[in-house]
Amino acid sequence: MRFEKEIKLIKRAVDEIVPLEGLIDKLEKSEKTGKPLRIKLGIDPTGYDLHLGHLVPIRKMRDFQDLGHQGVIIIGDFTAQIGDPTGRDETRPPLTHEQIMYNSERYMEQLYTILIPEQTEVRYQTEWFGGMTLHDVLQLLSKFTLAQFMAHDTFRNRYEQGLSLGMHELMYPVLQSYDSVAVESDVELGATEQKFNILCGRDMQRYFGQEQQVAVLSPILTGTDGVNKMGKSLNNYIAVFDTPNDKYGKVMSIPDSLIINYYNYAAFALEDEIKAIEAELKQGVNPMLIKKRLAHRIVSYYHSDAEADEAAEAFDRQFSQREVPEEMPEYALASGEYRLTNILVDSGLCKTQGEAKRLIQGGGVSVDGERIETWDHVLNFEADTIIRAGKRRYLKLVKA
């Protein structure tokens, strides 16, 4: 097959390419004309805290860039006002313009840790949607039928389950598909759940007499809980902004059954590597050790080798050897007597008195290594004291 090497790279951590033939044609054309392909990825600036799940398609864009192609990031400042209904069973609240601008800037900051800036074009939907009239909008809408949309899982499920579904949400795929026309995309990236939207883009391009884009669909990354899709609302995500220690720890917290999955989609390991790891697991190597390597690799990708080393050491100290971490937040107090629960709450370790009390009663709090079992414990504070609340929360009391 022609472009075997390229296709292999493109297929890495990808679920589906629709249609594969189309991609080969595109590569061929690009090689002939010397014009890079335009690789589109739409982003809704509904938030700015990116996690590893978001980055799967982003890293795919980077693969294309490494092959010399042009990334085109579309900031969905219009679609963000709708909220992508895909995979959602609820209408999203719309965002203000300021939020959108702020989010998209933070977004790009993070993306440039992966993408090559010189090969990245950033476009806002406002460019083409800002000046549209109702007439134009109606024209776009006429390209699709209700039946077509109701065949789409998300819409059908929402409808059949009797959940609310706003008219504006039906607009989402329409807008996204016109983006492809506006930027003349050759390839559109996205998670598999984007298949419908991206394929709509192909239709739209055809209506506008353009060559049709190819969909390159990335798998959806499972969250650290091992069950649900990685997402903010479930608190099962590893964020780009997480500290090296947190990233490391969060990787360690994934169920062992997720190791291969993460090597594939979070660490972007190559095929041979995956095979080697599978073999190791089969031979009975402690999954913990393999997870440690995985965690190290992920941390060093986003930070550095040195930081990954440190995170690994900190993890061993804190969890394997149960030692106190080197760094922890400090809380200043004057000498005197304090009720322990008050310290826990005032310092922010616990949210409420009740929570602090329960934590103590559950045996989760210790002062200088000694477990405290009485909720009304009074602490006589003089010099440095270390309070531990639960597995991960530490506090050093220092003199005010």
Partner RNA sequence: GGAGAGGUUCCCGAGUGGUCAAAGGGAACAGACUGUAAAUCUGUCGUCAGUCGACUUCGGAGGUUCAAAUCCUCCCCUCUCCA
With contact defined as beta carbons under 8 Å apart, do 125 and 77 qualify?
yes
Q: Please, which residues have CB within 8 angstroms of residue 20's CB and are 6 or more apart in sequence?
A: 7
Q: In whole angstroms, how far apart are CA 190 and each of 56, 59, 165?
A: 9, 11, 23
CB 40 within 8 A of CB 189: yes
Q: How far apart are CA 254 and CA 262, in angstroms?
A: 9
Q: Check if the beta carbon of residue 307 is closer than 8 Å to that of residue 246.
A: no
User: CB 16 → RNA: shortest distance, Å?
Assistant: 29
Asked if 378 is part of the footprint of RNA (rule: CB under 7 A), the reply reads: yes
- Residue 29 touching RNA (CB under 7 A): no
Distance CA 176, CA 212 (A): 14
**Can residue 235 be called a binding residue for RNA (CB under 7 A)?**
yes
The least CB distance from residue 52 to RNA, in Å, is 14
b/e map of 249-275 (b: 16 or more CB within 10 Å)? bbbbebeeebbbebbbbbbbbeeeeee
Interaction pattern, residues 262-301, with RNA; x per rule: CB under 7 A: -------------------------xx--x----------
Task: Give yes or no for residue 94 binding RNA (CB under 7 A).
Answer: no
Question: Does residue 351 interact with RNA by CB under 7 A?
Answer: yes
- Tell me whether residue 112 or residue 159 sits nearer to RNA (CB atom): 159
Say whether residue 112 binds RNA (CB under 7 A).
Answer: no
Using the rule CB under 7 A, which residue among 139, 145, 157, 164 binds RNA? 164
Stretch that binds RNA, among 30-38, 96-104, 173-181, 314-322 (CB under 7 A): 314-322
Packing angle between helix 305-315 and helix 244-252, nearest 10 degrees?
60
The Cα 289–Cα 316 span in angstroms is: 11
The least CB distance from residue 262 to RNA, in Å, is: 12
| CB 390 to RNA: min, Å | 2
Q: Binding to RNA (CB under 7 A): which residues in 243-262?
A: 245-246, 248-250, 252-256
Residue 362 engages RNA in binding (rule: CB under 7 A): yes
Closer CB to RNA, residue 145 or residue 352? Answer: 352
315 forms part of the interface with RNA (CB under 7 A) = yes
Least Cα distance to 50 among 97, 96, 5, 113 occurs for 113
The tokens describing 354, both together, are 């009740």
Sole binder of RNA in the list 51, 69, 296, 393 (CB under 7 A): 393
Question: Residue 52 interacts with RNA (CB under 7 A)?
Answer: no
Nearer to RNA by Cβ, of 47 and 287: the residue is: 287
Alpha-carbon span 219 to 235, nearest angstrom? 19
Cβ neighbours of residue 182 closer than 8 Å, sequence gap 6 or more: 123, 127, 128
In whole angstroms, give the CA distance from residue 115 to residue 60: 10
Region from 29-37, 111-119, 231-239, 296-304 binding RNA, contact rule CB under 7 A: 231-239
Q: How many residues bind RNA (CB under 7 A)?
A: 51
Interaction of residue 324 with RNA, rule CB under 7 A: no
According to CB under 7 A, which one of 16, 127, 193, 225 is a site residue for RNA?
225
Beta bridge mates, 218: 191
Q: Judge whether 246 and 303 are in contact, CB under 8 Å.
A: no
- Which of 192/366 has CB closer to RNA? 366
The site for RNA (CB under 7 A) is made up of 159, 162-165, 225-226, 234-236, 245-246, 248-250, 252-256, 287-288, 291, 315-316, 318-321, 339, 341, 345, 351-355, 357-359, 362-364, 375-376, 378, 389-393
